[in-house]
Amino acid sequence: MKLWLLLLPGLGSIVFLMGSALYTIMIQSVGLHTELGASLDYWSDTLSDPILFRSIEYSLRTSVLGSLGAVILAYPIAMWLRKPIPGKTAIIGLLRAPMFVPGLVAAFLLINVISFHGILNESLLALGVIDKPLRITNDKFGWSVVMLQVWKNTPFALILLSSSINSIRSDVLDASADLGASAWANFSQVVFPLTIPALQAALILIFIGALGDFAFASIAGSRNVYSLSVLMHYTATAYYEWEKAAVIGLVIMVLSGLSAILITLMTRPFANRTRPVISASFLERSHEK
Amino acid sequence: MKNNNKLILIISLSFFALVNFIWLVVPFFMAVLWSLVDPSHPWSFPDIFPRVLSFNRWIEVWQTTSLPEAMFNSYSLAPAVALLTVTLAAPTAYAFGRLEFRGKQVAELITLLPMVMPTMILAIFFSSLLLDLGFSEPYFSIVVAHTVLALPYAIRIMSAGFKAVPQDVIDACADMGASRITTFRHAFLPMLKPSILASLIFCLVISIEEFNMSYVLGAPDFITVPTILYSFLGYSFVRPDAAVVSLFLVIPNVILMLVIERLLKGNYLSQSTGKA
Amino acid sequence: MLVKKVLKTSLLSLAAVIATSAFAYDVTKMSWTEIQTQAKKEGKVNFAVWYLQPGWREFVKEFESEYGIKVRIPEGTLDGNRNKLIAESKQKQGKMDLVAIGAANVQLLNLEKTLMPLNKLPDYAQLKTVSEGFDSKGYAVTFWGNQSGIAYDPSRIDEAELPQTFEQLSHYINSHPKEFGVNDPNGGGSGGRFIEAALRNFSIKFEGETLDQDSPQWKNTWNWFNQYKDEITITGSNADSITRINDGELVLAPAWEDHLAGLQKRGAITDRLKFYIPVFGMSGGANFVTIAKNAKNPAAALVFLDWLTSADTQTKLNAKFGVAPQHPDADDSAALVSQNMRQYSTTPLNVFYEKEIKKQFVQKVLMY
C-alpha cells in the first residue's frame, strides 16, 4: 500500500499520459470513436498507400545512418580523450557544445552554409573545384538530415561511450598492449566488447529519436518525401484524417520497438568475443578484480 | 618515441581544431554575418559580402517579433516543469533506490517509456485527447507534457542518488533516536543535493529545448523558444531574421551549459543513464 | 469511460476557475458610442493574423496610441488559428478576438455559432462581405487584398521573356533547369495557387466545371508536373521560394504580391525582385477578418475592425505592404502590379480543391 503511494506520482504520471495517448491512438486507428464504428479500413488504406512506405524507407535510412554515424564518430574521439591532452576540459566543452544548440538552430546553420550561394559553394567555386554552385539543400536522399543527426547526437554518444571506456581499468589495456596487441586489436578485442552495453543504449536512444524526427526533416529534409512524423502531422492537421494519422503513429512505434530489439540482438554477440589477442581467462580474471 | 608521441599530439590537436573550425566556427560565423545585415541594405546575390553591417536588425527583431514573449513563456515553463518533475520523481526514485519489491524491474522499464516513444505521436494524440475533453490551457498542457518527458531522467538520476546514501549513516541517525524527518534532513538531504540539482537542470534543458509538444499543444498562439524558431525557419523564413533569433537563443543555452559544467563537473549525463 | 468522465468534469471545473467571469454586456445591443466607451474599458484586443506579424506589430502602433487600446498580434498559422477558433466556439468565452482567415475558410466555419455579426460597424455598408465567390453572410469583411503571381529577378530574365503561357513556361523550364521553383502546397499557399492555375489550364475544360476527387481529368495536370518535375525546384514555403530568388538560386517562383512587398519593405530581401501575373492567369482575392462570437474583448475588437477597414488605414496598408485596398475611398497607388496586369487575376477555386490539390500533389507528383 505504501509502495503504491511512493510509485504513484512518478510512475503514475507516466502511465497516465502514455496510457491515455496510447488509448487514443488505438481507438482512433480503428475508428472506434466515429459514428461509423470500428473498422480496419484505416489500416488497410494507410498500409496500402505507397507514400507511407516511401516515408518509412526515408525515415529508416536517415536514422540508421545518423545513429551509426554518431557512434562511429564518437569512438575514436572517446579513445583519443583517454590520453592526457593539454586543455582537455576546454576540448570536452567544445565537443559538447552541439548538445546545447537547439536542433532547429543547427538546421538553420547547416542550410545557411550549404545554400546555393552559401560559403561552401562559394569556397568550392573559388578553389575551382566546381564551376557551377551545387544544389544540395533539401537533397533527395536526406544527407542533410543525416549530417544534422550526427552533429547533434555525437556529443550524446560520446558521453555514454566515454564513461564506459573510462571505466575500463587501464591495467587491462596496458596488459593487452604489453602482450603485443596492436592499437586496432586492442580496440576491437578489448574496448569494443566491453562497451557494448553503452553502445546499445546510445544506438537505441539516438535511433528512436531520429526515427520520430519532425523538425530536421521539415526544415532540411527532402522535398520529395516526408519523414514519418511529418506525414503523420500533415495527415492529422492538414487533411483532418486523424484515423490514418493514428495508424502512422502506431507504425512508428512498432518500428521503434522492432529496431530496439534488432539493435540489441545484433550487438550482443560482439560482447562475448574476446578470445584471440589475449586469453579469455586473463580478461575474466582482470575483470573480476 | 617521445618526439613521435608529441608529433601525434600536435597533429591530433590541429586536426581537432580544423574539424571544429568547420563544425562550429564557420556555421556560427555565417549566422553572425547574416544577423548583421543592415535592414535598409538587403544582402542578395551576386554580392559576396553584405554591403552595410549594423546591429539594427537585432533591435528590430527584439522590438517587432514575439521573441520576448517566446522567451518569457519558455523561461516560465521550464522552472515549473523542473519543480513539478522533481517533486513527482522523488517518491518513485526513493522506491527504486532503496526498496526491493516484486516487479521492480518492470516498473523501472515503464518509466523509460517516454524516452523511447517519439514525442510527435504523444503530442498529437495528447492534444486530441485534450480537445475531446474541451480543455485548452496551453500553459498547463505543456507543463504536464514536459513533466512526463523529463520524469524518466529525474527518476533515474535521483534513484541513483538515493541508492548512494550509505545504510550505516541512516542507521546511525536512527540509533540516535532521530525522527523520520530529522533522518531525512541529516542523512538523505546532504547526499541528495547534487542529484536533485542535476535533475532540476536536466528538466530545465529538456523543457527549453522541447519542440514537438510545445508546437502541437501550444498551437496556434502559445509560443515558446523552439516554436518561434520553427516559424522563423519554416513558414515565415527570412534568413537575416532567423539568424538573429537563432543567436538570441543560443546565448542563454551556452550560459546554462557553463553552469551545468561547473556544477556537475561533466558527469551529469552518465548519471542519468545510471552508469555513474 | 468513467475515467474520461471524471477527468472531464475535473478539467472543466479547473478551466472554469481559470476563465474570467462571463459576459456582463452584449455588444450587439449597444450603440456605437457605448461600444467605444466599452472598448476603452477593455483596453486590449487580440488580432490573429497569420502572416507578416512583425510588420503588423509596427503597423498597429498608431491605433494603440490613438485609442489607448493595446493590440496583441500572436504567432500562429492560418490552419492553427482557424482550428482554435472552431475548438473554442463551444466555450462560453474564448481567448480569440479578431481572426483573419483566407476567403475560402468561411466554408469551414459554422458562421452563426462561431462568429459575431459585423453590421454594427459604422462603415458596414461600404465594406465587402463577399470574397473570391464566398459569402460571409455579414460575419466577415475583407481587409487585405491578395494576389498570387510569379516573383522574378529582373537582373536574370528580361521582362519580354517572362513566360506568359504554359507552353512558354515548359520551354523556359527546359532551357533553364532548376531555375523555376514551386513550393510544397502544404508549406504555403502560393504553390497551391500555381498548381490551381495549372489545373485550370490542363484539367478544367470550361469555366465552372467541377471535378470530383476521382475524376480522370486531374491526371493531365499531374502529367505536366511529372514531365518537368526533375527540372523544377521544390521549395518549403512561400518565404523559402522568395529567399532562393534573393540568393540567386531561382529566377522565377510563384509568390504572393503582398508577401513579397512586405518582405522587401522589411529589408529582408532585395528591392530588385519584381512580380507579375502571367497571362495564363493566377488567382487573387481578399482575406477576411472576423470576430469570434465568444470574444473576450468584443467592443475593442469592433473598434479595431472599424479602424482597420477605414479608407485611411487601407491607404496606409497599401503604402506599407503594397496590398490592394478594400475600402472604396482608399488610394491604391503603391502596389507592385499595374492595373493593366490585374485583368489576368482569376477567382480562386474553392476549398475542396485546396485540400485536394495538397493531397494529390503530394501523392501524384512530389512522392510519385
When scoring B236, B241, B244 by the number of chain C Cβ atoms within 10 A, the one with the most, hence best to mutate, is B236
With beta carbons under 8 A apart, name residues in chain C contacting B39. Answer: 266-268
Residue A82 has pLDDT above 90, yes or no: no
Which three cell numbers, joined as nine digits, stand for B177?
A: 533516536
**pLDDT for the residue numbered C71:** 94
pLDDT digits (tens, 9 = 90+) for C48-62: 998 888 889 889 999
Within the 239-278 window of chain A, which residues sit less than 8 Å (CB to CB) from chain B? 242, 245-246, 249, 252-253, 256, 260
Least confident of A9-13, A278-282, B147-151, C82-86: A278-282
Cα–Cα distances in Å, from A264 out to A153, A191, A260, B275, C364? 19, 18, 6, 18, 39
- A18–B13 CB contact, under 8 Å: no
**pLDDT for the residue numbered C14:** 52
Residue B272 has pLDDT above 60, yes or no: no
> SS in 3 state form for B197-247?
HHHHHHHHHHHHHCCHHHHHHHCCCCCCHHHHHHHHHCCCCCHHHHHHHHH
> Which residues does A81 contact at the CB level (< 8 Å), separation at least 6?
A88, A91, A92, A162
pLDDT interval class at A283 (50, 70, 90) = very low
Least confident of B226-235, C22-31, C94-103, C259-268: C22-31
- Highest mean pLDDT pick, A192-206, A226-240, B55-69, C275-289: C275-289
H or E element at residue B276: none
**pLDDT for the residue numbered B270:** 45
Residue A118 has pLDDT above 90, yes or no: no
Cα–Cα distances in Å, from C316 out to B156, C46, C258, C263, C274? 59, 21, 13, 16, 21
pLDDT interval class at C9 (50, 70, 90) = low
pLDDT interval class at A94 (50, 70, 90) = confident
Above pLDDT 70, what percent of chain B?
A: 91
- DSSP codes, chain A: -HHHHHHIIIIIHHHHHHHHHHHHHHHHHTTTTSTT---SHHHHHHHT-HHHHHHHHHHHHHHHHHHHHHHHHHHHHHHHHHS--TTHHHHHHHHHHHHHS-HHHHHHHHHHHHSTTSHHHHHHHHHTS-SS----TT-SS-HHHHHHHHHHHHHHHHHHHHHHHHTS-HHHHHHHHHTT--HHHIIIIIIHHHTHHHHHHHHHHHHHHHHT--HHHHHHS-SSS--HHHHHHHHHHTS--HHHHHHHHHHHHHHHHHHHHHHHHHHHHHHT--TTTS-HHHHHHHHH-
What's the burial of C188, exposed, middle or buried (CB within 10 Å: 0-12/13-18/19+)?
buried
Within the 90-109 window of chain A, which residues sit less than 8 Å (CB to CB) from chain B? 91-94, 96-105, 107-109
For residue B4, how far is the Cα from the chain centroid?
42
Report domain extents, chain B.
Answer: 66-272
**What whole-number distance in Å separates Cα of residue C341 and Cα of residue C339?**
5
Residue A26 has pLDDT above 80, yes or no: yes
Which three cell numbers, joined as nine digits, stand for B69?
A: 514573449
pLDDT interval class at C290 (50, 70, 90) = very high
Nearest CA in chain B to C46: B221
- C54–B239 CB contact, under 8 Å: no
Region C24-146+286-321: CATH code: 3.40.190.10
pLDDT interval class at C101 (50, 70, 90) = very high
With beta carbons under 8 A apart, name residues in chain C contacting A225. Answer: 366-367
Average pLDDT value for residue range C328-354: 79
**pLDDT for the residue numbered B269:** 44
Whether B235 contacts C52, CB under 8 Å: no
Q: What's the CATH number of domain A50-288, 1.20.1080.10, 3.40.50.80, 3.40.50.1370, 1.10.3720.10?
A: 1.10.3720.10
End-to-end Cα separation, chain B, in angstroms: 36
Residue B226 has pLDDT above 70, yes or no: yes
Residue A288 has pLDDT above 60, yes or no: no
Which three cell numbers, joined as nine digits, stand for B256?
A: 546554462
Higher pLDDT, C129 or C13: C129
Residue B274 has pLDDT above 60, yes or no: no
Higher pLDDT, B116 or C249: C249
Whether C245 contacts C151, CB under 8 Å: yes
Residue A35 has pLDDT above 50, yes or no: yes
Report domain extents, chain A.
Answer: 50-288
- A117–C248 CB contact, under 8 Å: yes
H or E element at residue C286: strand C282-291
Give the distance between the most distant pair of CA atoms in chain C: 70
Whether B74 contacts B222, CB under 8 Å: no
Average pLDDT value for residue range C177-196: 91
**pLDDT for the residue numbered C302:** 94
- The residue among C120, C116, C138, C87 whose CA lies nearest residue C23 is C116
Nearest CA in chain B to C3: B133
Helix (H, G, I), strand (E, B) or coil at C76: coil
Nearest CA in chain B to C48: B221
Region B66-272: CATH code: 1.10.3720.10
Nearest CA in chain B to A114: B27
Is domain C148-283+337-366 annotated with CATH 3.40.190.10?
yes
Above pLDDT 70, what percent of chain A?
A: 91
**pLDDT for the residue numbered B268:** 44
How many interchain CB pairs under 8 A, A with C? 48
Which three cell numbers, joined as nine digits, stand for A277?
A: 589477442
pLDDT digits (tens, 9 = 90+) for C239-248: 889 999 998 8
**What whole-number distance in Å separates Cα of residue B240 and Cα of residue C160?**
32
CA distance C318 to chain A (A): 31
The answer to whether residue B31 neighbours chain A at the CB level (below 8 Å) is yes
Whether C274 contacts C336, CB under 8 Å: yes
In chain C, CATH 3.40.190.10 sits at: 24-146+286-321, 148-283+337-366
pLDDT interval class at B265 (50, 70, 90) = low
